[in-house]
Structure 1
């Protein structure tokens, strides 16, 4: 077991850590501006990898159905768990909202996809594509609701979803599959080349974002919420995800991929929502940093257990 974990650490985490470390160093010493890179990622690289993957992915309707069912059921169970814990601990509304963001949203896009590709190969990436699309929709709808229930607007949520180029890339890929068509070879080659740039660029962005996250001293009443958030994200979330996967009778590579993606650290975008809507951004920031650092050790163990 120890040998398997060490092997996974070397073969998966070490390659991932190189662009993350590069991004962190550039962010720390060269003040790397991630905004242009985020635009590149959001409007070019993300649609490219979604189109390239979905157009040729070896996924069945059963995979799609089970992935969507897992995404929604796991989300609402985590929401319920965070709400229950918040009430038991009598957390203030900002900390309760922050705990919900910490518990429910993971870094499955710019950390999860490269990890799955290295750990499970192209088949794993195929299985992950539907989950990632679902997460993009969920974060821009339900995520906004979690962060600002009183300010939530269905119209603005729908608008935010359809402002994502990746959604149109997914629709195009699904249409091509349904009609039995393929992109011209030259166009497909260009899309594949862009998709190949996805992993190093988004991991470098993650590294730069990590060093810019402000981890200020927090008040004593936030400390309890912080340790609770760490416990939920690192321990309870993987256990709950495994139970949901077993309940839905999901097995094989799809089981492994969905379990890993559901066990990722807190999504960096969570702090954006927390800052915008006053959902204890200091709490969310600290959990982003520490769950990401912990994941470098925890995820190899989990991958080894599920047989990546």
Structure 2
């Protein structure tokens, strides 16, 4: 019950963005908010998350295992997408979104509900790994429809979040202290980033009509996100890692969360059907609500 209650604020801010766009349609420019989030607040979120806890084995191993699971499936999906979808742009959306979970806005509070505040360093570093995947692979797939491979990779290097991540890792590894007041400001910016992401999702959601939802794409994406990815993740964690049950359970939980709202940012930034991406996230989020209870049962089994 606590896990479900902690998820409610997430949907509250999504609803807030939805209502705001409905009421102040012309006054709200969603692309402007996307740019503010991507170039200003998300770098703060990344820096805050990567400097929150000292670097140790579990801290390093968890995001590496997470990315390994994601990248193996991405390799499989790259070939599978050509068989499922004929249009290249649809293939790009499929590859860019299907493996990117809402590890920050939803994963962090859900982790607190299930595992306590001790889970925050692990959910934060997994969220950073997820952001790395978005900024490198998702950006490439979204951008390749407009740019050449060379231009797509140049666009990746323009994303400030990557450079802030390297800076944060250097600060953490060098054990450079952060002033208490500065850390408070970083924390405020990090939580602002999460709220802004949810508002952006709500804003784009306000333009979605049920009859225009790309159901085939959305259901294919949700099948990968909610069935294939968690099952493959459980298999890898059980048989190929030596993480303790507590950290393993956190990792599995982060593989189960629905699609990331950050997908909308990238789709909007590169004009790659942001409303189709929003619809896919909506379908994934609804499916997640029905799967939340069995997910929690699976996670509790691993804790034991």
Question: TM-score by structure 2 length?
Answer: 0.78
Superposition map of 1:151-166 within 5 A:
153=148, 155-166=150-161
Task: Structure 1: give runs of 5+ residues left out of the alignment.
Answer: 1-5
Give, in whole Å, the separation in 2 of the partners of 1:109 and 1:7: 18
Who is 2:16 aligned against? 22
Helix, strand or coil at the partner of 2:51: helix
In the TM superposition, what are the counterparts of 1:197-208 in structure 2 within 5 Å?
A: 197-208=192-203
Match for residue 299 of structure 2 among 300, 303, 306 = 306
1:244 maps onto 2:236 in alignment: yes
- Separation in 1 of the partners of 2:289 and 2:159? 30
Q: Which SS does the other structure have where 1:108 is aligned?
A: coil
Could you say if the C-alpha distance between residues 21 and 64 of structure 1 is closer, same or farther in structure 2, counting changes exceeding 3 Å?
A: same
Residues paired across the two proteins, number? 298
Alignment of 1:120-269 (within 5 A): 120-147=115-142, 153=148, 155-213=150-208, 216-217=211-212, 224-249=216-241, 250-269=243-262
Task: Measure, in 1, the Cα distance between the counterparts of 2:258 and 2:240.
Answer: 24
Runs of 5+ consecutive residues of structure 2 not aligned to the other structure: none
Q: Post-superposition shift, 1:290?
A: 0.8
Q: TM-score by structure 1 length? A: 0.77
CA contact (8 A) 2:104 2:124 kept: no
DSSP 3-state at the match of 1:104:
coil
Superposed CA deviations along residues 89-138 of structure 1, whole A, max 9, x for unmatched, are: 57554444443334223333444344445544443231123333333332
Which deviations, in whole Å up to 9, do the C-alpha atoms of 1:152-196 show, x marking residues without a partner?
655444433433333333333322222222022332232233334
1:241-271 CA distance string (max 9 Å, x none): 2222223323434323322332232334546
Q: CA RMSD in A?
A: 3.5
Shift of 1:235: 1.8
